[in-house]
Chains A and B, each alone.
Chain A
């Protein structure tokens, strides 16, 4: 078991707790940087898809996991990012301008949505964001001369120094860099006063307000930052799928994104990344599963969303802290071995909870 001896306040602020952490995360980054030399292109594509999902997951985690606001409309922000980026590229804007532009536009629309959504909580907020996602989907369908309507349009393939940036290897590095950037920005946000205010709003709005947190401003900000991350992920997502059509950004994608943060573990950035790995590999797992299922079930339409729903329900029932919670328990088991007590993580009933906390 490791004991952290703290001698400096900076130790509570720094990104890494100590040299051991620094070593393991450094090793992880080194392995991921070396991956293109070790893996086939197919796997690189899959991993970059997980990276993109993780960026979006971080965005949704800021909103749902840290600020406590549920959103069933994040596919719309992904769509806004993807379409804006691609339309700008078609107009001849270089990608290093169109990516930040698409991110900013998503953040701006996020703020506009956040404003009216302020008065809503819980399931009503979920319904409102769902409605917003439908509106965006309809706009993508009807605004034909820009979005190409139902048919959609292929995403342009920008080139850097004569190399296409969406080839497997360069795209892998671009998405990896984007994820590292997103993680750093999110970590900075969470260790600064703004991130603390988000957590405060999640746990007790009335106390947050009395400590000086402007609820309206911070909730709007949370929506905006979350939408910004998601839109940023969307720009890369566009290249990943290669062809934009409205049905790529439907309700099922929103639910998948929510599944990602819940299954990964609400309230932790690790959770967003674990969730992305899980959701990224799920279609493959389901495809493998199909081979073993009886014909009648395997060919059933709607099998995939059904399994998503089932997984979500099981996680909420049996592991509300998600994969990250399970990971913490496994870590604790080994660090305390053989003294681990089963009751350590037993959920206890809270009697002091009031109705309002939901």
Chain B
């Protein structure tokens, strides 16, 4: 079953065609990876999906609904969560606070009840905390719960960002270079988690990744981009041996 579909997606920045007629669809329960050299338009595709950019043309469909016109803050509530390439955490807040913000799309109660902190608000907060604790257990973050992000090492920040995205209870998880800046051991952990996210939590994963070991380990389908165009689409081994892909990475 198709969960997400990009149809003929394109965006121009002035005269530059950053993404130019990209079409692909992600099946439910898949790990779908986008690879490509620097500047191929991978992150731009992500920014189009999370609606930070408006596409020049093309359609985005999520669970059969056209989401091309949905404002960016409504994407999370629909079930699409993301992480960022350069880590966008709330630095002067604790890990717990960051994860609770991941529950924002599920908040309830109006402002007045929050200002009075009525028992209903407390009950809701406890429910959110419960959900957040599940994610903390899942990703082994117990140790960092009350640490401020500024005091966290880089590797742990990556995990917290993943955790925050999971707290939104997404159906589709967008991971922008989950392994960048991680050492070999941390990358292996990441591979296990991506595996578990798909198999245990049943979340479909769409990721951008450079580390081909990780890509081979977890991906079901791979899309190769270059200069905003699709080079190849298929299984990891098919794409890697595709002559166009080899040419893009290694030259003629």
Residues of A with Cβ closer than 8 Å to B?
A: 9-10, 12-13, 185, 188-189, 191-194, 196-197, 199-200, 202-204, 206-215, 221, 267, 350, 352, 354
Contacts and interface: CB of A to CB of B under 8 A. Distances in A.
21 contacts: A9-B129, A12-B96, A189-B115, A191-B117, A194-B111, A200-B104, A202-B92, A203-B90, A203-B93, A204-B91, A209-B73, A210-B81, A210-B82, A211-B101, A211-B102, A212-B73, A212-B75, A213-B73, A214-B73, A215-B73, A354-B86
B76 A211 contact: yes
Contacts of A211: 76, 81, 101-102, 104-105, 164, 168
Contacts of A212: 73-77, 104-105, 168
B196 interface: no
Contacts of A199: 90, 92-93, 97, 101
Interface in B88-112: 88-93, 96-97, 100-105, 107, 109, 111
Contacts of B129: 9, 12
Contacts of B103: 193
A292 B23 CA distance: 77
Interface string B22-55: 0000000000000000000000000000101000
Top-9 shortest CB links A-B: A212-B76, A212-B105, A192-B114, A207-B88, A203-B90, A188-B117, A193-B107, A204-B88, A214-B73
Contacts of A191: 117, 125
Given A9-B129, A188-B115, A210-B72, A196 B164 contact: no
A214 to B, nearest CB: 4
A13 B122 contact: yes
B84 interface: yes
Contact of A200 (B71, B82, B101, B133): B101
B154 interface: yes
Contacts of A189: 114-115
A194 B73 contact: no
A225 B111 CA distance: 11
B38 to A, nearest CB: 17
A207 to B, nearest CB: 4
Nearest to B88: A207
Contacts of A194: 111, 114
Contacts of B88: 204, 206-207, 210
A209 B52 contact: yes
Given A10-B126, A188-B115, 17 more contacts: A12-B129, A191-B117, A193-B100, A197-B101, A197-B104, A200-B101, A202-B92, A203-B89, A204-B89, A210-B76, A210-B81, A211-B76, A211-B104, A212-B77, A212-B105, A350-B150, A352-B86
B158 to A, nearest CB: 11
B86 to A, nearest CB: 6
A197 to B, nearest CB: 6
B217 interface: no
B242 to A, nearest CB: 32
A210 B90 contact: no
Contacts of B71: 214
Contacts of A354: 86
Nearest to B52: A206
A166 to B, nearest CB: 28
A165 to B, nearest CB: 25
A199 B126 CA distance: 20
Contact of B90 (A188, A207, A352): A207
Nearest to A266: B92
Contacts of B90: 199-200, 202-204, 207-208
A16 B165 CA distance: 30
Contacts of B125: 13, 191-192
B116 interface: yes
B87 interface: yes
Contacts of A192: 109, 114-115, 117, 121, 125
Contacts of A185: 115
A277 B224 CA distance: 61
Nearest to B124: A193
B130 interface: yes
A212 B52 CA distance: 12
Contacts of B133: 9
A221 B114 CA distance: 13
A297 to B, nearest CB: 40
A203 B91 contact: yes
